[in-house]
Amino acid sequence: MNTGHQGCPPTWVSQSAEFRLAVRDILLQGKNMVKLIHTLADHGDDVNYCAFSSSLLATCSLDKTIRLYSLSDFTELPHSPLKFHTYAVHCCCFSPSGHILASCSTDGTTVLWNTQNGQTLAVLEQPRGSPVRVCRFSPDSTCLVSGAADGTVVLWNAQSYKLHRCGSVKDGSLVACAFSPSRNLFVTGSSCGDLTVWDDKMKCLHSEKAHDLGITCCDFSSQPVSDGEQSLQFFRLATCGQDCQIKIWVVPLSHILGFELKYKSTLSGHCAPILACAFSHNGQLLVSGSVDKSVIVYDINTENILHTLTQHTRYVTTCAFAPNILLLATGSMDKTVNIWQFDLEMLCQARSTEDQLKPFTEDWSEDDVSTWLCTQELKDLVGVFKMNNIDGKELLNLTKESLADDLKIDGYSYEKEAMENWISKKKRTSPMTNLVLPSVVLIPNRTLKMAIDRWLETHKK
């Protein structure tokens, strides 16, 4: 039975994806493929964004500043923090060379900085002064895009700092932007959920509703992928949103017959809105950060979860990979930026384990299942599972209904103290169904706890 409020589903029920992840972690014997190597805590308010160049890390915040750090030892540069903006800084990004940093703010400006000395190079004012939510350099450094709360998207000449072209979306604020690695086109995402593709002349090539409750972030993989059948190559595009989903799209490299944007798949794992997503430099990993305070690392080829990071204490607002090494930065409303390093050997081992895990688990005997239950501190359930002859194949197919109907596991959520009091009075029946409980083990309902924490966070005065 779960402890918490009534009506929430049991969180430990063995849906096969979650179960395989748990088993994989056991097989890896607790080793971490991702190691926290540094925490930056210099900002005085929420961290909104972070970005890498080949030698620097930039972070920006609700505290109106941008900070620059050296990747060699994560010390802050002498000319940091950068101060100009009069309101919150929402986004920052490096030019491909790393010599220029762009930052944008609620104050309606996008500022270009010299990263070597911290001097301002230009101040680009958004038409009508609307708050600027996102900015991006083109891969060839010739253009800079800024997107604003009023739906305007501006294409700036990055050499002359002059407005080149301007467009807008029909509804919502522009909150996300990403350039295609190989062509002069870019995508924008709006708070209404529209994903729009533009060419370098600001012509709209494609638009569709991608996320019902709004897009929060998008990113292109820098590495092309072949479909293996018709020898076509394409780039992956990831989008995430308030609907708690990450969607993967493909964009063909060749557009002879016109532009195409095709939906491929949806990744699951988060239980709350997803605020950020980013591909690794080699295109093999995708990370996401969420309101549930976690960061999930996916193998993009298998779309399996490789690792979940839970060190942040508030919403994870941003995540970014370094361009040439497997270094990850994650920022949060807890005012910190965590720097993570990947263990390549463990990463390869995890991928291999994921590939082999399902057939391996299906071959588990009843005793193997009992052993696994004990490692998960569920020893009290061993008798019930053995009584019902649950082997590996049966375990992968368990549902909430089979747990309740066949195994007589309660499945309701209660206040822990009230349930312990109930059991202490030697009552062995379910308070909801009055059926005899074969086990009185209490299992925390972590999903419900997260939901309560999110509500409290949202309604803080």
For residues 454 and 199, the model is more confident at 199
Burial of 136 (0-12, 13-18, 19+ CB in 10 A): buried
Give the domain ranges of the chain. Answer: 35-348, 412-459
Please report the pLDDT score of residue 325 as a whole number: 83
The answer to whether the beta carbons of residues 276 and 292 sit under 8 Å apart is: no
pLDDT of 102 higher than 90 = yes
Give the CA distances from residue 230 to residues 226, 227, 233, 271, 353, in Å, rounded to whole numbers and listed in that order: 8, 7, 9, 37, 30
Lowest mean pLDDT among 63-67, 152-156, 410-414, 444-448: 444-448
Lowest mean pLDDT among 152-156, 197-201, 342-346: 342-346
Query: Residue 15 — very low, low, confident or very high, per pLDDT cuts 50/70/90?
Result: very low
Q: Is the entire prediction scored with pTM above 0.75?
A: no
pLDDT in tens, 308-341: 999 999 999 999 999 988 899 999 999 999 999 9
First vs last C-alpha separation in the chain:
34
429 Cβ contact partners less than 8 Å away, ≥ 6 residues apart: 435, 436, 437
pLDDT in tens, 348-357: 655 554 554 4
Query: Residue 4 — very low, low, confident or very high, per pLDDT cuts 50/70/90?
Result: very low
Superfamily of domain 35-348: YVTN repeat-like/Quinoprotein amine dehydrogenase (2.130.10.10)
Please report the pLDDT score of residue 447 as a whole number: 55
pLDDT in tens, 107-125: 999 999 999 999 999 999 9
pLDDT in tens, 359-405: 445 667 887 777 767 665 567 677 777 777 788 777 666 654 455 55
pLDDT in tens, 271-306: 999 999 999 998 999 999 999 999 999 999 888 888
The dihedrals phi and psi of 450, each to the nearest 5 degrees, come to -60, -45
State the Cα–Cα distance between residues 134 and 90, nearest whole angstrom: 7
Please report the pLDDT score of residue 81 as a whole number: 98
State the Cα–Cα distance between residues 282 and 324, nearest whole angstrom: 8
The dihedrals phi and psi of 150, each to the nearest 5 degrees, come to -85, 10
pLDDT of 154 higher than 80 = yes
pLDDT of 3 higher than 50 = no
Degrees to nearest 5, angle at CA 233 with 227 and 237: 90
Please report the pLDDT score of residue 99 as a whole number: 96
pLDDT in tens, 191-222: 999 999 998 889 999 999 999 889 999 999 99
pLDDT of 169 higher than 60 = yes
The answer to whether the beta carbons of residues 283 and 300 sit under 8 Å apart is: yes
Average confidence score pLDDT of the chain: 82
The answer to whether the beta carbons of residues 68 and 118 sit under 8 Å apart is: yes
Q: How many CB atoms lie within 10 A of CB 309?
A: 21
275 Cβ contact partners less than 8 Å away, ≥ 6 residues apart: 216, 217, 240, 289, 290, 291, 315, 316, 317, 318
pLDDT of 7 higher than 90 = no
pLDDT of 5 higher than 50 = no
The answer to whether the beta carbons of residues 135 and 109 sit under 8 Å apart is: no
Q: Calculate mean pLDDT across residues 167-175.
A: 90
State the Cα–Cα distance between residues 251 and 264, nearest whole angstrom: 10
Question: What would the two tokens of residue 281 be?
Answer: 């430099």
State the Cα–Cα distance between residues 426 and 42, nearest whole angstrom: 54
pLDDT in tens, 232-283: 788 999 999 999 999 999 988 765 556 778 999 999 899 999 999 999 998 9
Please report the pLDDT score of residue 315 as a whole number: 97
